[in-house]
Amino acid sequence: MPPFRAKQILEWVYEKGICDPEQMTSLSKRDREVLTAEMTFLSGDTLRHQLATDGTQKLLVQWRDFTAGEARANESQPAPTAALPILGQPRIDEDSKRQTECVMIPTETRKTACISSQVGCPVGCRFCASGLGGLDGNLTSGRIVEQVWRLSRLKDVGRVSNVVFMGMGEPLSNFKNVTGAIRTISALWALGISARKVTISTVGLPQAITKLAEEFDLPVTLALSLHAPTDEIRRKLIPWAEYTTIDDLLAACQRWFEKTGREITLEYTLLRDVNDRPKHAERLAEIAKTIRANVNLIRYNEVNGIEFERPRNTDVLEFQKILRESSINVHIRASRGRDIAAACGQLRHESAGAA
């Protein structure tokens, strides 16, 4: 095809939201036939679409022709954890092993796409539904971008302003595909969302954090899923914490800041009577003072079959107060979409259980 066809096709897909070659009327009949035969524009199917009372929308997407071996994780990552037991619930079924979730979170000023980077998750955080069945495979760059495209086509959404890799999976263990997807997401010929409005949330792989800092064309925001103020507690909550220490992670984050000049976000999920006591807040304040960081407190969203509980509001506010008294920039993340199981992996987990 002549070179200008590429521009026409991209305009149809990204500006007009058309992925059916037969509807690309500016192309010749022959070119439309070739595209239909040779190119895959969308490789997933939306199985469920839920709308919460607060306007949050969630999609459960099943990927066609997906196999666990189609995109291997980085060789430098720790070995994937074994699948965790689902207490009193069926195991993830075969169809679920091809499914991921993505969420549209609207506010007055932003429309944020929360997307997945893997099918399942290798990390196996004890409080999270994403890793209940272990890791089934990496998403390709195209399938990562497709999630943003699908969310942007939902009713009343329009242009997506922000993207966060806070869905299923550990983004930095799918490094090549995630960075490739961000380059498309931020490209002017594609979605045109500035890389500065893209956040990568990671449980913490020091070597990958250092490598990401060297991707100078991707000025993304880095969020470290800390979730505990000591190595002892963190290792009980996050199996991968056995491979590193909080000090190692802080050193990697410091190198990140020195190379990029961008502040780190420390994400901290509050679990009732586990990591939400005043002594935990005091230790977290000490940690946050060692680097240029802000703290994002997250109230735990309960998951069927997992023993952890949502914190009491009084304890959350006291936790925040202690951090603020230590001059830490801290915010409590608003809970969104609780009535549609909007937390990571919940919809896939509950759909498999219902089946």
Q: Does residue 75 fall inside a structural domain?
A: no
* Same domain, residue pair 201 and 322: yes
Which among 19, 75, 101, 253 is annotated as catalytic?
Answer: 101
* Same domain, residue pair 140 and 17: no
pLDDT-based confidence at residue 265 (cuts at 50, 70, 90): very high
* Same domain, residue pair 28 and 176: no
Q: Please compute the mean of the pLDDT values over residues 278-302 and round it to a whole number.
A: 96
Q: Please say if the pLDDT value at position 69 is more than 70.
A: no
Q: Please compute the mean of the pLDDT values over residues 164-173 and round it to a whole number.
A: 96
* Same domain, residue pair 52 and 95: yes
Q: What is the pLDDT of residue 96?
A: 77
Q: Does residue 137 fall inside a structural domain?
A: yes
Q: What is the pLDDT of residue 302?
A: 87
Active site residue 253: no
pLDDT-based confidence at residue 16 (cuts at 50, 70, 90): very high
* Same domain, residue pair 227 and 342: yes
Q: What is the pLDDT of residue 273?
A: 97
* Same domain, residue pair 127 and 13: no
Q: What is the pLDDT of residue 341?
A: 56
pLDDT per residue as tens digits for the range 217-257? 999 999 999 999 999 999 999 999 999 999 999 999 999 99
Q: Does residue 307 fall inside a structural domain?
A: yes
* Same domain, residue pair 86 and 17: no
Q: Please say if the pLDDT value at position 70 is more than 60.
A: no
pLDDT per residue as tens digits for the range 136-151? 999 999 999 999 999 9
Q: Does residue 74 fall inside a structural domain?
A: no
* Same domain, residue pair 46 and 165: yes
Domain tally for the chain? Answer: 2
* Same domain, residue pair 37 and 97: no
Active site residue 170: no
Residue 250, phi then psi, degrees to nearest 5: -65, -35
27: containing domain: 1-41
Which among 121, 125, 128, 344 is annotated as catalytic?
Answer: 344
Q: What is the pLDDT of residue 337?
A: 62
